[in-house]
Amino acid sequence: MKKYEVVIGLETHIQLNTTSKIFCACKADSWGAEPNTNICPVCSGLPGVLPVLNAEAVQKGALLAAAMHAEINPVSYFDRKNYFYPDLPKGYQITQFDEPIGKGGYMDLEMSDGSSRRVRIHKLHLEEDAGKTKIEQGERLVDFNRCGVPLIEMVTEPDLRSGEEAAQYLTQLRQLLRWIGVSEADMERGHLRCDANVSIREAGSTVLNTKTEIKNVNSIDAVRQAIMEEAKRQIEAVEAGRRIQSYTLDWDADTGTLRKMRSKESEADYRYIREPDLLPVRLSAEEIARVLESLPELPLARRARFIRDYQLSGYDADILTSERSLSDYYEESVRLCGGAAKVVSNWMMNDLSRLMNDTGKSAAQLRLRPADLAEIIRMVEDGKINPATGKSLLGKVEAAGGKPAEIVEREGLGLIADEDALSSQIAAVLAESAAEVESFRAGKESLLGWFVGQVMRRTGGKADPKRTRELLLEQLKR
Amino acid sequence: MNSIHLSARQIAQKVRAGELSALDVLEDHLRQIQTVDGAPGSLRHEHLNPAEENKVHAFIEVTAQRARRQAEQVQALVQRGEDPGPLAGVPVSVKDIFCVEGTTTTAASRILYNFRPPYTATTVERLEKAGALIIGKVNLDEFTYGSSSESSAFQPHPNNPWNTQRVTGGSSGGSAASVAAREVSLSLGTDTGGSIRQPAAFCGVVGLKPTYGRTSRYGLIAFGSSLDCPGPLARDAADAALMLQVLAGMDPKDSTSALAPVPDYLAALQEGVRGMRIGLSRDYDHITYPDTLTGEMSIQAIQPEMNSAVRDAAEVLARLGAEVVEDVPMPNARHGIPAYFVISRVEAASNLHRFDGVKYGYRTGTPVRGLSELYRATRAEGFGLQPKLRILMGMYVSAAQHSAQYYQKALRVRSMIRSDFEQAFDPRGAYRLDALLTPTTPTTAFLRKAVLGDSVLMQYSDQMTVAGNHAGIPAVSIPAGLDPLGLPIGVQFFGMDFREDLILRAAHAYEQATQNAEWRGITPQALRGSEVSA
Q: Sign of the C-alpha dihedral, residues B521, B526, B531, B534?
A: negative
Task: Name the packing angle between helices B304-319 and B500-513 (round to 10°).
Answer: 90
Tell me what the mean pLDDT of segment A74-102 comes to: 97
Please give the Cα distance from A10 to A15 (Å, whole number): 16
Please give the Cα distance from A209 to A200 (Å, whole number): 7
Provide the chain B residues 90-119 that lie in CB contact (below 8 A) with chain A. Answer: 98-99, 105, 107, 112, 115, 117-119
CB count, 10 Å around CB of B499?
18
Q: Are residues A145 and A111 in the same domain?
A: yes
First to last CA, chain B: 5
On the 0-12 / 13-18 / 19+ scale of CB atoms within 10 A, A273 is buried
Output the CA torsion A258→A259→A263→A268 (10° steps): -80
Q: What's the DSSP call for residue A352? A: I
Q: For position B533, what pLDDT does the model report?
A: 38
Enter the ipTM: 0.95
- CATH number, domain of A456, equals 1.10.10
Q: What's the DSSP call for residue A160? A: B
Q: How far is B372 from chain A (nearest CA, A)?
A: 9
Q: Are residues A231 and A282 in the same domain?
A: yes
Identify the domain containing residue A448 by its residue range. Answer: 419-476
pLDDT-derived band at A453 (thresholds 50, 70, 90) equals: confident
Range scoring the smallest mean pLDDT among A131-145, A348-362, A455-469, B430-444: A455-469
- Buried b / exposed e along B355-377 (16+ C-beta atoms within 10 A): bbbbbbbbbbeeebeeeeebbeb
Domain spans, chain B = 1-44+58-534
Q: For position A266, what pLDDT does the model report?
A: 61
Higher pLDDT, A428 or B338: B338
CB count, 10 Å around CB of B404?
9
Please name the residues in contact with B315: beta carbons below 8 A apart, sequence gap of 6 or more: none
Q: For position B534, what pLDDT does the model report?
A: 35
Tell me what the mean pLDDT of segment A379-383 comes to: 85
Minimum Cα–Cα distance from B376: chain A residue: A84
Domain C-terminal end among A393, A411, A429: A411
Please give the Cα distance from B326 to B306 (Å, whole number): 17
Q: What is the CATH number of domain B1-44+58-534?
A: 3.90.1300.10
**Interchain contact, A276 vs B256, CB within 8 Å:** yes
First to last CA, chain A: 86
Closest CA to A330 of A320, A322, A339, A340: A320
Digit-coded pLDDT (tens) for B293-315: 887 888 989 999 999 999 999 99
Which of chain A's residues have a Cβ under 8 Å away from the Cβ of B220? Answer: 48
Q: Do strands A92-95 and A79-82 pair parallel, antiparallel, or not at all (unpaired)?
A: antiparallel
Please give the Cα distance from B240 to B231 (Å, whole number): 9
> Which of B112, B256, B359, B378 to mutate: most A Cβ within 10 Å?
B359
Q: For position B51, what pLDDT does the model report?
A: 82
The beta-carbon neighbor of B255 closest among A44, A52, A271 is: A52
Q: For position A142, what pLDDT does the model report?
A: 95
Domain C-terminal end among A411, A436, A461: A411
Please give the Cα distance from A390 to B44 (Å, whole number): 87
Q: Are residues A154 and A232 in the same domain?
A: yes
Q: For position A446, what pLDDT does the model report?
A: 84
Q: Are residues A125 and A165 in the same domain?
A: yes
Q: Are residues A39 and A8 in the same domain?
A: yes
**Interchain contact, B119 vs A47, CB within 8 Å:** no
Q: State whether residue B78 is helix, strand or coil.
A: helix
Closest CA to B174 of B196, B206, B145: B196
B137 as an active site residue: the answer is no
Q: CB-based contact (8 Å) between B125 and chain A?
A: no
**Interchain contact, A45 vs B217, CB within 8 Å:** no
Provide the chain A residues 265-284 that lie in CB contact (below 8 A) with chain B. Answer: 269, 271, 273, 276-279
Tell me what the mean pLDDT of segment B441-464 comes to: 89
Tell me what the mean pLDDT of segment B80-103 comes to: 97
The residue type of B100 is V
pLDDT-derived band at A265 (thresholds 50, 70, 90) equals: low
B195 as an active site residue: the answer is yes
Please give the Cα distance from B233 to B182 (Å, whole number): 12
Q: Are residues A424 and A396 in the same domain?
A: no
Strand order in the sheet with B133-138: B59-62, B133-138, B91-95, B186-191, B229-234, B206-209, B475-482, B488-494, B435-439, B277-280, B323-325
B171 as an active site residue: the answer is yes
Digit-coded pLDDT (tens) for A408-444: 888 877 777 677 778 888 888 888 888 888 888 888 8
Q: Do strands B206-209 and B475-482 pair parallel, antiparallel, or not at all (unpaired)?
A: antiparallel
Digit-coded pLDDT (tens) for B356-401: 999 999 999 999 998 999 999 999 999 999 999 999 999 999 999 9
CB count, 10 Å around CB of B512?
16
Digit-coded pLDDT (tens) for B21-43: 999 999 999 999 999 999 999 99
Q: Do strands B206-209 and B133-138 pair parallel, antiparallel, or not at all (unpaired)?
A: unpaired
* SS3 track for B266-307: HHHHCCCCCCCEEEECHHHCEEEEECCCCCCEEEEECCHHHH
Please give the Cα distance from B90 to B132 (Å, whole number): 5
Closest CA to A25 of A43, A47, A7, A1: A43
On the 0-12 / 13-18 / 19+ scale of CB atoms within 10 A, B298 is exposed
Q: For position B531, what pLDDT does the model report?
A: 44
pLDDT(A165) > 70:
yes
Domain C-terminal end among A288, A312, A328: A288
Percent of the residues in chain B that have a pLDDT greater than 70, as a whole number: 99
The whole-model pTM stands at: 0.91
Q: For position A417, what pLDDT does the model report?
A: 67
> Which of A81, A141, A271 to mutate: most B Cβ within 10 Å?
A271
Higher pLDDT, B273 or B533: B273
Range scoring the smallest mean pLDDT among A18-32, A246-260, B147-161: A246-260
Question: Mean pLDDT for chain A?
Answer: 92
Q: Are residues A334 and A202 in the same domain?
A: no
Q: Are residues A107 and A244 in the same domain?
A: yes
Q: Are residues A376 and A273 in the same domain?
A: no
Q: For position A1, what pLDDT does the model report?
A: 66
Contact by Cβ (8 Å): A329, A348: yes
Contact by Cβ (8 Å): A96, A52: no
Q: Are residues A276 and A354 in the same domain?
A: no
Tell me how many domains chain A contains: 3
Q: Are residues A335 and A433 in the same domain?
A: no
Question: Mean pLDDT for chain B?
Answer: 95
Q: CB-based contact (8 Å) between B359 and chain A?
A: yes
Q: Are residues A102 and A164 in the same domain?
A: yes
